[in-house]
Amino acid sequence: MIKNIIFDMGNVLIDFNPMQYVGKLNLKNKEEEVKLFKAAYLNYKSIYMDYGKISEEEFVDHVVQGIGEEYRDKVSEVILHWDQYLTPIKGMEELVKELKDKGYKIYLLSNAGFNQHDYWEKIPAHKYFDGKVVSCDVEEVKPFPKIYEALYEKFNLKPEECFFIDDLIINIFGAKRTGMDGYVFTGDVKDLRKELVERGIL
């Protein structure tokens, strides 16, 4: 019996579209947008934030060293302040509330850096959550087993009683390897609702 619903954050609770954020910076041309996007979001060191090895501020310094000091303000905007563009996935808050009202415990399992703790409360659905595990705090990322096991241990959960919703199939595979079933969210809350109904969760 499923007792706990586990949600990913980016592209599940909120839309996460880095190229769109870069497009709001009023750069000179498309070439500059691509340059900054690659420097900030296709940077090998970005994963260090998710692992909790560096802060977002330290990552900004690293990016600026590579792209040039003249880009510091723009890099800071999309790394430190991207949450100004935060957009909830339509219909997801209502779904989370409905699950909460039905008696399920609701948890977050997200790959993210330390700043997640600062912007978490900006996400409308956060108020229905019973707890969260963020990768930077456990120094491991999805889809590796340690982060799922950290969730089970922290909240005393049985994996077979949990259902995980994530936008990446590899993360669902990772969950299944630890005994937790799940669903790959494609952006359509109606499809997710249908899946939950078919599984007897809703």
pLDDT over 90 at 98, yes or no? yes
Residue 66 to residues 96, 142, 182: CA-CA distances in angstroms?
41, 28, 39
CA distance 12 to 62: 29
pLDDT tens for 117-171 read 999 999 999 999 999 999 999 999 999 999 999 999 999 999 999 999 999 999 9
- Do the strands 14-15 and 87-88 form a parallel or antiparallel pair, or are they unpaired? antiparallel
Give the length of the chain. Answer: 202
pLDDT tens for 11-33 read 999 999 999 999 999 888 999 99
User: Could you report how far apart the first and last alpha carbons of the chain are, in Å?
Assistant: 12
Region 108-123: what's the mean pLDDT?
97
Task: Looking at 12-68, list the stretches that DSSP marks H as alpha helix, in order from N- to C-terminal side.
Answer: 18-23, 30-41, 46-50, 56-67
Phi and psi (nearest 5°) for 108?
-105, 140
pLDDT over 90 at 7, yes or no? yes
- Report pTM: 0.95
Residue 52 CA, distance from chain mean position: 15
The 8-class DSSP code of residue 127 comes to: G
- At 34 the pLDDT is 93
- At 26 the pLDDT is 86
**Could you tell me if 168 and 15 are in contact, meaning their C-beta atoms sit under 8 angstroms apart?**
no
pLDDT tens for 41-91 read 999 999 999 999 999 999 999 999 999 999 999 999 999 999 999 999 999
**Could you tell me if 113 and 56 are in contact, meaning their C-beta atoms sit under 8 angstroms apart?**
yes
Region 106-126: what's the mean pLDDT?
97
**Residue 133's closest CA among 102, 158, 106, 104?**
106
Which residue in this structure is represented by tokens 């809703």? 202
